Structure 1
């Protein structure tokens, strides 16, 4: 049952990490409603964060050419380093607010299906409204993203500290409001995920340690591997989808799921 739970959670993580539907929210719902397995709460708290490293590694692999600065061409090297500097600027708000509020968020929000349901519905409505209102996007390449824009997108990312919001959804939403095309907003969201989730994992490790049994280490490796494979396929699908489709379907899905969860809670 523990292996089955890990497989299910890892698949859910891989599918939802980069779609604007909240991976953490989905894993909380699965864990709360499925009620299988007997894993320690301390392990599960770490597991739900650490397996996201597998999904983050899929970003590095998928966008390796776009992200790798170690090339012989000086102009390309400079271009990549400028992109990474914008990523660093974009992640600063999450670093500061994460350190300040992580304990409070973990205590009051991380196990709440009610919070997840409400955030799914609220941001589902907001996502649909924003896409309907925004008609023109001017920023269609990373060179045109300035540092202030990167920082503001990073502030939007912080909204996702509340489970059910969606980190990718919040950053894409911020990017669209600031004039980025859907494809560029999505890619920059993926790039921001790398330092953000690595930092979140390190923070969780510092707080909870790595006092896992051999069996728990095996479950972590299994979860990370599965989330990597599924997340890679999810990124590929989303990048193709964004070429000529809207985010409306994700907003509708969020609202329907949120309503279903509220009814189940009642």
Structure 2
């Protein structure tokens, strides 16, 4: 497989999985192992191309973000609460991420340990999603603006679990939100909004640490992956909201369990 085709396929994997509770980073690690794309360059590539998917959120929800900005300038309570909640949700991962960065990067770049951790995390996460879907009650639809600061901060704490490859940032935030009494649609949308500062910070910090070792070829790969993930994520986000509103998250849980099991089998063979 040519390097260009590998980069395009990885960009598609990122765009499809970033906002699904299946772990985009975990899928990139497994796909990188399958395609023979691993090492220091892969770690930075996996983190930074996620900005393409994040840009899709900004484009699709630009009116929402613009109204929040206008509201902040007017001192609107809803806009202030929205901004506060996103900031509180982001805060725990921003603090903890500084201390665990090296360990996480080591897992991301390990061609042996990383894929095994991902496979196990996929299975465990799938089981947790099924348990949350079965036992947690689903309240009437709300919004990010009606979410309490305690709920937003609690979701942010749960999001930190996603620093383990394979856990899924969106999965952790959505399940955390459901467990704290948020409805499905609001949980999914808050996960989208929370991804913007979280992934901007993660990508910026990684680039600050690793930019000297990327090289011209690495930047080209990141650029292509960025564009592909952006286009694919634009198509996936609306579809995902329709699925979870109608059918919940169980389909993604069963997928995680199946994917993790198959990954463990393949890793034992290859």
CA deviation after TM superposition for structure 1 residue 219, in Å: 2.0
| C-alpha distance in structure 2 between counterparts of 1:239 and 1:210, whole Å | 39
| C-alpha distance in structure 2 between counterparts of 1:202 and 1:86, whole Å | 22
CA deviation after TM superposition for structure 1 residue 5, in Å: 1.0
Equivalent of 1:260 in 259, 262, 270: 262
1:230 aligned partner: 232
Find the residue that maps to 1:154 and give its secondary structure. helix
CA deviation after TM superposition for structure 1 residue 216, in Å: 2.8
Question: What are the within-5 Å matches in structure 2 for residues 50-69 of structure 1?
Answer: 50-68=48-66, 69=68
CA deviation after TM superposition for structure 1 residue 217, in Å: 2.3
| C-alpha distance in structure 1 between counterparts of 2:75 and 2:16, whole Å | 32
Rate the CA distance shift 1:263–1:235 in 2: closer, same or farther, 3 A: same
| C-alpha distance in structure 1 between counterparts of 2:72 and 2:206, whole Å | 38
Find the residue that maps to 1:32 and give its secondary structure. helix
TM-score normalised by the chain length of structure 1? 0.93
Structure 1 gap ranges (5+): none
| C-alpha distance in structure 2 between counterparts of 1:180 and 1:221, whole Å | 36
Any conservation in 2 of the 1:109–1:162 contact (CA below 8 Å)? no
Question: What are the within-5 Å matches in structure 2 for residues 66-105 of structure 1?
Answer: 66-68=64-66, 69-71=68-70, 77-105=76-104
Any conservation in 2 of the 1:139–1:179 contact (CA below 8 Å)? no
CA deviation after TM superposition for structure 1 residue 74, in Å: 6.5
Rate the CA distance shift 1:104–1:214 in 2: closer, same or farther, 3 A: closer
Find the residue that maps to 1:243 and give its secondary structure. helix
1:11 aligns to 2:12 (yes or no): yes
CA deviation after TM superposition for structure 1 residue 136, in Å: 2.9
CA deviation after TM superposition for structure 1 residue 118, in Å: 0.5
Any conservation in 2 of the 1:54–1:227 contact (CA below 8 Å)? yes
Equivalent of 1:117 in 110, 119, 124: 119
| C-alpha distance in structure 2 between counterparts of 1:238 and 1:76, whole Å | 33
Find the residue that maps to 1:180 and give its secondary structure. coil
Structure with greater proportional helix content: 2
1:201 aligned partner: 203
Rate the CA distance shift 1:77–1:224 in 2: closer, same or farther, 3 A: farther
Question: Any runs of at least 4 consecutive aligned residues in structure 1 with deviations exceeding 4 A, and if so which?
Answer: 72-78
Question: What are the within-5 Å matches in structure 2 for residues 164-243 of structure 1?
Answer: 164-243=166-245
